[in-house]
Structure 1
Amino acid sequence: MLDEEILQSEFIYQNKESKEAILTIEGISCAACAWLIEMQLTKLKGIDKISVNATTQRATVTWHDNILQLSDILNAIEHIGYQALPFKANEVEQRNKSISKVFIKRLGISGILMMQIMMIAIGLYFGAFSDMAEHNKIYMRSG
């Protein structure tokens, strides 16, 4: 389906001899992941060049369309263990917003929990728990 010219015209740049696409690759967590994708795809006949950015989770791929199809490239990436899709800025922006909301929730929860721990630590510092059993004091101090 992605090999159709009409669909590819939305996200592929075509030169005289080759095509170039920017792909979003989900699941990249480090530079080693990017390196693995680059090494495996350079083995494919028809790939001119590939550059994977682990930070943005994007890959720029240039290939010869008469030798290799886009679906072959996507299948090769999936075979390695990652999912690749054509890069679309509005979808990436929506995904980044949803990820930001998750991180803000996590930050809020950790802030609330940190305040609870600080209340106990301040109480221990000022002796508020001086009449507490010794084994409970040891439990409160360890951490």
Structure 2
Amino acid sequence: CKASTRTAKANKSVSRKFDFTSLFAEEEKAAELNKIEEMEALFETESNKLNSEDEKLTSRRNETLSQLLNGQSNASELLEYYYSCTERFIHDYDQPAQPDFIRVRDDRRTETLSNLSRTTLMDEIDYDLDGMKVDE
């Protein structure tokens, strides 16, 4: 009878340890979920800001474009329209998450520059901006 009581006590202590470690695991999971939720909320906020800026730029562009088409604008407004169109592209280009076509083009340009550094003046190889060899 005493042996079975000891075994029961030992089993209880083992189960308590298991519950204790699972409690820590649950707390860690909860902390990770909180971090993920905070990051999602931050992403949502930033996304809303960008969408709002995008809407403002789009409405400005559309207004300026309609003025251009109706002949109600001058050269400075045309320049403003051009810069507002390129402003967003440049902003996106500077961000770490670049669109694929920009990344590919950038990689190709980097590769071209490294090729240029390996060529000597004796080779007399000219490259245009897109990295294509120019024949004379």
Task: Select the structure that is richer in strand.
Answer: 1
Higher relative contact order (CA 8 A, sep 6+): 1
Task: Select the structure that is richer in helix.
Answer: 2
TM-score tier (shorter): 0.3 to 0.5
Q: What TM-score results when the alignment is normalised by the length of structure 1?
A: 0.36
Q: What TM-score results when the alignment is normalised by the length of structure 2?
A: 0.38
Q: Max radius of gyration: which structure?
A: 2
